[in-house]
Amino acid sequence: MDELQLKELIRSFLSEMETETAQPIVPAGSLSDEESEESAGISYKTLPNSSASVIEDDMIPDITEVDIQEQFLIPNAINEEAYRKIKKFTPARLGLWRAGNRYKTETVLRFRADHAAAQDAVFSYVSEEFVKELGFIPVETCASSKDEYLTRPDLGRIFPEETQKFIKETCKPNQKVQVIVGDGLSSSAIEANAKDFLPALKQGLKMFGLDYNEVLFIKHARVGAMDQIGQLTGAEVVCMLVGERPGLVTAESMSVYLAYRPTVGMAEAKRTVVSNIQKGGTPAVEAGAYVAEIVKKILDNKKSGVDLK
């Protein structure tokens, strides 16, 4: 099947879907005879598979481009202005309305799209091109696959003996700062934020007379991987960028964990963390400058986590 035949098949399939959704299904008894489709919250033009939004230039409209905090679907709201003001303070799915006693079609599709994005972030990998572009040195934990990484968190915290030897030979020993990047639970977060974060971090550190050299990229990384890196390199501060567990609001949120002379088995309370680094939270550039200040504070006080006042 060539490309033209494939496109024609897609057009035919979408046309059939449009016909099937021409009349919405409303549970019996949920609407009175006098209620109109508009008052029931049914809007044909917003259905992604209706004629108003079928493919344009061979592309289906991307439903995820809609800003949920701007989207308001309740007809004839008593105080729409106040409702919209509340939505500005939260990415929660407020003001979605319904068709009969069900969610509207576009609401369901958006939920599924966001859920799919979260799954993709967990199960996909940071591209090799991205790692090469940023000049990272790639290494891998003892977890040999995504399935093993997810079911055996302990293997994502340690490295094979050959890798340990490679790290010791590659990284300059006893540095003030050792930066590492781990894919964690969201490869999307690393690709969305690392490129902007690292230059801001480097610039911020230079203001304090500090710098870092090699950046390790760890595949199948858990936060605890920074502990063994600390022991192998002897670095005073280990700064680890890692993808956060994705949710339905975003799959691109990154965290930065910092620890003073981390060791294997170190208490979690000894780590300092800056989370929610993403375009809807703390922008990557701003976070990079802020983390540089924290690194300086950790070095001055020779402590991190709850010990750092």
CA distance 298 to 304: 6
Which residues pair with residue 99 across a beta bridge? 102
- Across 10-121, where does the E strand assignment appear? 98-99, 102-103
DSSP 188: H
* Closest by Cα among 121, 127, 179 to 150: 121
Joined tokens for residue 73: 């679907």
Known binding residue 126? Answer is no
Known binding residue 244? Answer is yes
DSSP 299: H
Q: β-strands 98-99, 102-103: how paired?
A: antiparallel
Q: Mind listing the pLDDT tens digit of every residue in the chain (309 residues)?
A: 566 776 676 677 666 655 544 444 444 444 443 343 344 443 434 444 333 345 556 666 777 778 888 888 888 889 989 988 988 888 788 888 888 888 888 888 888 888 888 888 888 999 999 999 999 999 999 999 999 999 999 999 999 999 999 999 999 999 999 999 999 999 999 999 999 999 999 999 999 999 999 999 999 999 999 999 999 999 999 999 999 988 877 889 999 999 999 999 999 999 999 999 998 899 999 999 999 999 999 999 999 999 997
Q: Is the pTM of this model over 0.85?
A: no
Q: Which domains does the chain have, with CATH numbers?
A: 128-307 (3.40.50.11240)
Give helix then strand counts, H and E, for the chain: 9, 8
CA distance 200 to 290: 9
